[in-house]
Structure 1
């Protein structure tokens, strides 16, 4: 009977211990949950995975995306993605419905056009990845705010993937595992104790009292040793029974939706890594077009003043004029960035780049006309020696694109540009409005030399700024930086009929003759950048950057108008 009790305790203890440990190992429930799309969706060129799908877990969420055709996965701010997709059909994955093991992704179809532009060419994405058929994407957002993952065929014309599986960490508890391990260990100890006691009793009957005492001592020693070993096993089992991630919790889709829908914070229209990519694309296209004198390539990444200036330079280069071409665009590093938080289109940004300390910093103004358009270089102006540009970081909430007639400054942007045009033409005009500038001084010196060389001629200089090209931004200190483009016509007229005007070599080649008794019009352009202090701070307007390109000279009547 003694042996039966011991064996029963050992068997029950072993079974309980095995089941308890098995629940933590071979029988342990999956710690990862999955969800798939269970409903039927119509074909569409785009699939959008919304933030609430990712919000199923605080830990990174894995997306396994499968398609029969090559596709692109692109991550962008939700507002940007919506603007890019607008007008086209798309399937939208909005969240996850939990139903035990049978979780499902909620989805909806939206009608629209059957194609979109090639997604990889967009400047709106902060990250993108191409796949030939299957991709495992781990969703991690680069910044605060709502983000959407966009899926589309590589050319934008095929069907977007809808075979999507979402996986996330989902810790499952096994409440009976620890109790079974403890109970099993105790039963084993009891069983071993009963077995030892039974053995000692049996030996005592055979060996007498003295032998019985000796056996009992040895048995107790064995039981003590066995108990220590079993206690060690128990401690190991208990210490490994609770998963390290068992305490993690996940917000419900409704909570995540509330968080994203209540987000009213303004965010910069481009992220740092996104800006780097845009600048690299712009610099590559513009610099390649400069080398090849290719106006068609230039138009893919330039507009406004930058396009006009470089088309003039390309034309001169094709005709083999020995003129200095505009400086190559420096993609970075970025030294300062005026990046507004207003997402309305057109979007405008201004950055200062400098490849190395040996290079002249450049002030680049870029514009994106709409969500599907690329950023174009609108103006590129080298900074002048000794000039300072405000140090501004991406995300500064005090930065904004402003009207060219904005108040709160010592001069409205349009008025400041017009004042500079007048000051460059006539040294005494608006002299008190501008800080000392090498650009202004060198312009005056050139004009003085021109006037002295042309003793038999009269000179009239007319400068005008195109307000449609002028771009202005509010700076954090309340001032403004302004990018502008001044067109200049220098009109040369003989003083008296019959007088001869001699032209310099470059102008003579442009005009087609080295001397003339008629009039002459010389056309040039001057891209400039200004800093205007706030009205509260006061002070003078500062010329930050400027350059000049003479692109044309035409013979005209001696009596041609000069106004």
Structure 2
């Protein structure tokens, strides 16, 4: 009787435990389910600063898109750029940095850096890939514009404090890895309890059975029947042989009968243990499968500084090129060099400035070739992330008889790219292949892997242009593919032949600070730079005069001189240098010149 009660209680306990476990699993999916998002807010009362940086690691803190809400007074902007670009633009300016999230996920962690109280407005910088402008409030979904690391810069105008009300909403980990396993385990426990109820004994010995002996009307369990049969057999043996049965033999039936409930309970317990073990094993597998993979850790900002990361994306390059072309168009149309200043510098600014001055006095003087962005043939982008940075484009639009190389340079982080050279390709020239995904730029003196360094190549070209008998005559390809060399030598020879009353000297000298060297796909290099072409004339005899053309006269202030004159031209050139070990000569890829100065001695 006691065994039956324990049997029943165990089964009921299993069912109740199963129900509780099942409800716990269901609760994890419903009332206890985690929220879909979690929002962290910047603490109030921090130190004000004109700039705020949001580190790129926050974008990858959780999987999915991060949403940022910024509130502030008046106009402000949020710009996206490479971490090293953002850091370089911030420089020594005082700023706050959003570095992470508190342990409870409710607060953004801010770090303040002291520095200069103001900075130029970051609006319009070429460093930013995307820019969001707002007034009062901005809701921004942070998605990367390309592979790699990205940071954000928040600012008003560089002088006012940046907005301090910032909140970031992250996708939350809504996985409940124990929900399904708990529901499975609960169901198994309920089944185990039900099975235990069905496994209860069919009957058991009672005091009445024991008093009835072998002849009682109640048969008892199988064990009891076997015991009674054995007792009968022993009695027959005793009667037949006179042997006396061992004391206590008659009680064997009762002992074996008491074993029955315990055996049944042990069998049921073993079944429950097997079911529980199976449930626990299933729980481990389910929990493991239910766990979301941890997000890959974001790379440090140093990764963006490494080789292989181009300084511009295609979208940036096209935007910059359009602004450059627009500035040149405005300057050319008005013959006003001031309109060039935001986007033109170096040789190109010198040549166009003087071109405008000459054309204002000499209507027939040929204008400079226009700069176009509409037909972009190729781009060359450096992966050298230090400044100055150089990029190049090959374009051919309206007014471009041949394609031209446009060389742009960014002198420092807070300056924009400016056009320093617009050089038409030589007829019949094939532009060398250069990796568009970002290529190496070399120092002008670096000869590694090259037949000549950049400065040697330009110096060789200068010597070749100065003398028909130059030592570089066989080292630099010329002829139909490069008519510039032949035309320059012919021009100089004509001046000498026609100027019987003068002595003339010509020189083509490299301007080192204008030299840019890009590595080509075949291991060679494309060298772009400027030569100063000086044309010096002196009368042979006292009283002799030299006459200059109308274009030079517009700059010199007169046409005739008896003391001598000096004309200066800026030559924009590009030379291909073969890789080391090659037997091929260098090739002049592009060249042009423009008058930038004329004076009397």
TM-score range, shorter chain: 0.7 to 0.9
Is 1:270–2:312 an aligned residue pair? yes
Question: Which of 394, 398, 421 lines up with 1:352 in the alignment?
Answer: 394
Other-structure match for 2:452: 411
Question: Which of 49, 58, 62 lines up with 2:67 in the alignment?
Answer: 62
Other-structure match for 2:506: 461
Q: Is the 8 A contact 2:84 2:305 kept in 1?
A: no
Question: Which of 348, 352, 366 lines up with 2:408 in the alignment?
Answer: 366
CA distance in structure 1 between the partners assigned to 2:73 and 2:555 by the alignment: 59
Other-structure match for 2:526: 481
> Can you list the C-alpha shifts for 1:398-432, whole angstroms capped at 9, x where unaligned?
x2232335354322322222222222232232211
Q: Is the 8 A contact 2:352 2:368 kept in 1?
A: yes
Is 1:114–2:159 an aligned residue pair? no
Is 1:526–2:571 an aligned residue pair? yes
Q: Relative to structure 2, which stretch is displaced further, 319-328 or 262-271?
A: 262-271
CA distance in structure 2 between the partners assigned to 1:393 and 1:382 by the alignment: 21
Other-structure match for 1:289: 331
> Can you list the C-alpha shifts for 1:151-174, whole angstroms capped at 9, x where unaligned?
100x22111122222223325357
Question: Which of 161, 164, 180 lines up with 2:163 in the alignment?
Answer: 161
Q: Is the 8 A contact 1:404 1:471 kept in 2?
A: no
> Can you list the C-alpha shifts for 1:220-260, whole angstroms capped at 9, x where unaligned?
xxxxxxxxxxxxxxxxxxxxxxxxxx875553xxx635666
Question: Which of 80, 89, 114 lines up with 1:84 in the alignment?
Answer: 89
> Can you list the C-alpha shifts for 1:481-530, whole angstroms capped at 9, x where unaligned?
11222222323445555556565554566556666665443332221111
Q: Is the 8 A contact 2:433 2:521 kept in 1?
A: no
Is 1:325–2:337 an aligned residue pair? no
Three-state SS of the structure 2 residue aligned to 1:432 is coil
Alpha carbons of 1:401 and 1:321: their partners in 2 closer, same or farther (altered >3 Å)? Answer: farther
Q: Is the 8 A contact 2:433 2:520 kept in 1?
A: no
Q: Cα distance, 1:91 vs. partner?
A: 1.4
CA distance in structure 2 between the partners assigned to 1:552 and 1:265 by the alignment: 43
CA distance in structure 2 between the partners assigned to 1:351 and 1:404 by the alignment: 24
Other-structure match for 2:218: none
Q: Is the 8 A contact 1:44 1:90 kept in 2?
A: yes
Q: Cα distance, 1:328 vs. partner?
A: 1.9
Q: Is the 8 A contact 1:35 1:103 kept in 2?
A: yes
Query: TM-score by structure 1 length?
Result: 0.74
How do residues 405-444 of structure 1 correspond to structure 2 at under 5 angstroms?
Answer: 406-429=447-470, 430-436=472-478, 437-444=482-489
Other-structure match for 2:491: 446
Q: Is the 8 A contact 1:480 1:532 kept in 2?
A: yes
Q: Is the 8 A contact 2:462 2:510 kept in 1?
A: yes
Q: Is the 8 A contact 2:511 2:531 kept in 1?
A: yes
CA distance in structure 2 between the partners assigned to 1:353 and 1:81 by the alignment: 30
Other-structure match for 1:315: 357
Other-structure match for 1:193: none
Q: Is the 8 A contact 2:305 2:385 kept in 1?
A: no
Question: Which of 574, 578, 590 lines up with 1:545 in the alignment?
Answer: 590
Q: Relative to structure 2, which stretch is displaced further, 530-539 or 500-509?
A: 500-509
> Can you list the C-alpha shifts for 1:110-162, whole angstroms capped at 9, x where unaligned?
22222221111211111111111222211111233321111100x22111122
Alpha carbons of 1:311 and 1:506: their partners in 2 closer, same or farther (altered >3 Å)? Answer: closer
Other-structure match for 1:395: 437
Q: Cα distance, 1:356 vs. partner?
A: 6.9
Other-structure match for 1:9: none
Alpha carbons of 1:75 and 1:346: their partners in 2 closer, same or farther (altered >3 Å)? Answer: same
CA distance in structure 1 between the partners assigned to 2:52 and 2:304 by the alignment: 23
Three-state SS of the structure 2 residue aligned to 1:305 is helix
> Which segments of 5 or more consecutive residues in structure 1 lack a partner in the other structure?
1-18, 187-245, 557-563
Q: Is the 8 A contact 1:400 1:475 kept in 2?
A: no
Q: Cα distance, 1:48 vs. partner?
A: 1.1
How do residues 97-108 of structure 1 correspond to structure 2 at under 5 angstroms?
Answer: 97-99=102-104, 103-108=106-111
Q: Give the number of equivalent residue pairs.
A: 475
Three-state SS of the structure 2 residue aligned to 1:529 is strand
CA distance in structure 2 between the partners assigned to 1:446 and 1:499 by the alignment: 22
Alpha carbons of 1:396 and 1:504: their partners in 2 closer, same or farther (altered >3 Å)? Answer: closer
> Which segments of 5 or more consecutive residues in structure 2 lack a partner in the other structure?
1-23, 191-289
Alpha carbons of 1:156 and 1:350: their partners in 2 closer, same or farther (altered >3 Å)? Answer: same
Q: Cα distance, 1:302 vs. partner?
A: 2.3
Q: Is the 8 A contact 2:567 2:598 kept in 1?
A: yes
Q: Relative to structure 2, which stretch is displaced further, 357-366 or 437-446?
A: 357-366
CA distance in structure 2 between the partners assigned to 1:303 and 1:425 by the alignment: 27
CA distance in structure 2 between the partners assigned to 1:515 and 1:139 by the alignment: 67
- Rg larger in 1 or in 2? 2
CA RMSD for the aligned pairs? 3.6
Alpha carbons of 1:39 and 1:167: their partners in 2 closer, same or farther (altered >3 Å)? Answer: same
CA distance in structure 2 between the partners assigned to 1:258 and 1:276 by the alignment: 28
Other-structure match for 2:172: 170
Other-structure match for 2:18: none
Is 1:48–2:53 an aligned residue pair? yes
CA distance in structure 2 between the partners assigned to 1:346 and 1:551 by the alignment: 25
CA distance in structure 2 between the partners assigned to 1:416 and 1:261 by the alignment: 34
CA distance in structure 2 between the partners assigned to 1:173 and 1:300 by the alignment: 54
CA distance in structure 2 between the partners assigned to 1:472 and 1:536 by the alignment: 19
Alpha carbons of 1:501 and 1:336: their partners in 2 closer, same or farther (altered >3 Å)? Answer: same
Three-state SS of the structure 1 residue aligned to 2:513 is coil
Other-structure match for 2:42: 37
Q: Is the 8 A contact 1:336 1:391 kept in 2?
A: no
Query: TM-score by structure 2 length?
Result: 0.70
Alpha carbons of 1:499 and 1:110: their partners in 2 closer, same or farther (altered >3 Å)? Answer: closer
